[in-house]
Amino acid sequence: MRTLIIFMILAVLVMAATCYESHESMESHEYLNPFINRRRASGFIQADSRLEAISQERIRERSKSPQEQQREVCEDYYPCELYAFRHGYAAAYRHYFGRRRTK
């Protein structure tokens, strides 16, 4: 009986040690918004060759659809991105950039 009690206490301690989620893991706030914009994401990824990276980016820009280009413009503007979470990127782009007036 005494061995069973010691075993149960040991099992509870092991479970508490392995299942505990510390406060430090929540400090990064990644659980609220795991996505970051392109400018911040490219800040810590270094290309092998700067010139090669620029040419590859230009090739990728030419092959993007208009919807993807509009979405990227909207992602770079924070109010548009917030509006897009509720109404979608097409509606957000029309709301913020669709009614451009030229003088």
Is this structure's pTM higher than 0.75? Answer: no
Per-domain residue ranges of the chain = 65-102
Q: pLDDT tens digits, residue range 64-90?
A: 788 888 888 888 899 999 999 999 988
Give 24's DSSP letter. Answer: G
pLDDT more than 70, % of the chain: 62
Distance of CA 78 to the CA centre of its chain: 13
Q: What per-residue confidence (pLDDT) applies to 60? A: 66
d(CA 94, CA 84): 10
